[in-house]
Structure 1
Amino acid sequence: MAAFAPLRWVVRIRRHPSALLLAVQLLGVMLYPVMEQAAAGRALFGAFGIVVLLLAVWVVKRSPALGWVAWCLALPAVLLSIAAALLGKPVLTAMSQALESLLYFYAAGSLTAYMLEDHEVTRDELYACGATFTLLAWAFAFAFSVCQIVNPGSFAATSELPQRTWMELLYLSFSLLSGVGLSDVVPVLPQARALAMLAQFAGVMYIALVVSRLIGLSVVRRGRGA
């Protein structure tokens, strides 16, 4: 029986791709600080980003959305990311991250459509609920990164670094989407503030539309069971 244990895990992952995406992204939250401090941090960050991109494409393919759209965003993003790492040109980094941001927004939208079209709450939808939130967080973090490349000084913080790190921007994204307002990173230029307002709006609408609907369906299901 032990020999079939890995096979069972593979079957579960294939049934719930959102769970794997969610787990990898939460793992990334813990690993990003280590990557930023490591000597080969840039290479590790790029490799990990490619893994998350491929998982996002896989999740989109399992949803009602069009898989070819995800590939049209993912492949150029990977190629531009590699070119930016080799050539060290910020414009290539901005283009790559812009495509990654669009891909994560698209994946989040596809998962939202998947959750809204069903009338029963399943385990996979609960995983998709968490994965959608992390996809939005990554999408806005990349949008913030593009903003500060195009407009240096877009964000201010307590640290004395001229540019905000990826971890700082991801922390800002989570803070805005969750509405807790605990980030020490502050958008100071108009473009950055516009993106911050969009993130706040997305976070409120996500809770209002998706989370509240799943809670409502769960309550109805329990009422029928009673």
Structure 2
Amino acid sequence: MTSPSYASLKWRAIARRHPSAFLLAAQLLSLIAYPLFEPAGGGRVVFGAFGVLVLALAVWVVNRSPAIKWIAWLLAAPAFALSILSVLLASDVLLVASSALEALLYFYAAGSLIAYMMSDHRVTADELFAAGATFTLLAWGFAYAFLVCQAWYPGSFVGVERPGEPRTWIELLFLSFTNLSAVGLGDVIPLGSGARVLVMLEQFAGVGYIAAVVSRLIGLTILRRERG
């Protein structure tokens, strides 16, 4: 067997065993890449390209979980098309439409991963990757929901810098991460009723995720070590 063939088979085996790791890696890589392209104005294009990749990976992960597959494809197909068109045509309307579908897909994928992690009493390495991927999916989903809310209700979010302008994607994503993790950091504040409701829902989701899912994984891991 040649070396390239062996390497290919090895990566395929890893992908089958740890699909959630690829989803988590793609989202974290997009965060790292964004600052490199933002000064040249290409941040939106980069996020659009990574968004397409994340959409594909999210559907792939859902297909390996107990979720209904056709729902994921029903959300992913138009979201994929609108995401590409929004980048090519620089259309804000298409961007909002794709963001709404992507938010739904990310929430659905997050729910599917939670069902996957709660389906047995044995903690695997992929379930630990799934825990991280679920957190990022929730953060991305609410960030896209914030983007839609801002488009529907201008002035929903205000920031320390440029207070009269709409918040950028990275600002809304930063708000989503800080809100979901409850660290209390951030220079973006929700003002409208819709924005505040979304923020409260994300706070509830963050606390519930830590209490119900993460604590369960930690407890099962400790129990397995004690029995071992």
Bin of the TM-score, shorter chain as denominator length:
over 0.9
1:91 maps to 2:93: yes
- Alpha-carbon offset, residue 36 of structure 1: 2.8
Task: Quote the residue 2:211 is aligned against.
Answer: 208
1:199 maps to 2:202: yes
Task: Quote the residue 1:45 is aligned against.
Answer: 47
Superposed, which structure 2 residues align to 1:1-226 within 5 Å? 2-3=3-4, 4-160=6-162, 162-225=165-228
Cα root mean square deviation, aligned: 1.6
- What are the Cα deviations for residues 77-107 of structure 1, in whole angstroms up to 9, with x where unaligned? 1222233334444332211100000000000
Assess if the C-alpha contact under 8 Å between 2:96 and 2:148 holds in 1: yes
Assess if the C-alpha contact under 8 Å between 1:33 and 1:167 holds in 2: no
CA 1:200–1:73: 2 relative to 1, 3 Å: same
Structure 2 stretches of 5 or more lacking a match? none
Amino acid at match of 1:188: L
- What are the Cα deviations for residues 128-154 of structure 1, in whole angstroms up to 9, with x where unaligned? 000000000000000001111111111
SS of corresponding position for 2:118? helix
- Alpha-carbon offset, residue 65 of structure 1: 0.5
TM score, norm. by length of structure 1: 0.94
Amino acid at match of 1:165: T
SS of corresponding position for 1:147? helix
- What are the Cα deviations for residues 148-186 of structure 1, in whole angstroms up to 9, with x where unaligned? 111111111111161111111111111111111111111
- Alpha-carbon offset, residue 5 of structure 1: 3.2
Identity, in percent, stands at: 62
Assess if the C-alpha contact under 8 Å between 1:35 and 1:45 holds in 2: no
- Alpha-carbon offset, residue 2 of structure 1: 4.8
Number of matched pairs: 225
- Distance across 2 between alignment mates of 1:98 and 1:139: 9
Amino acid at match of 2:87: A
Assess if the C-alpha contact under 8 Å between 2:30 and 2:47 holds in 1: no
TM score, norm. by length of structure 2: 0.93
- Distance across 2 between alignment mates of 1:14 and 1:59: 10
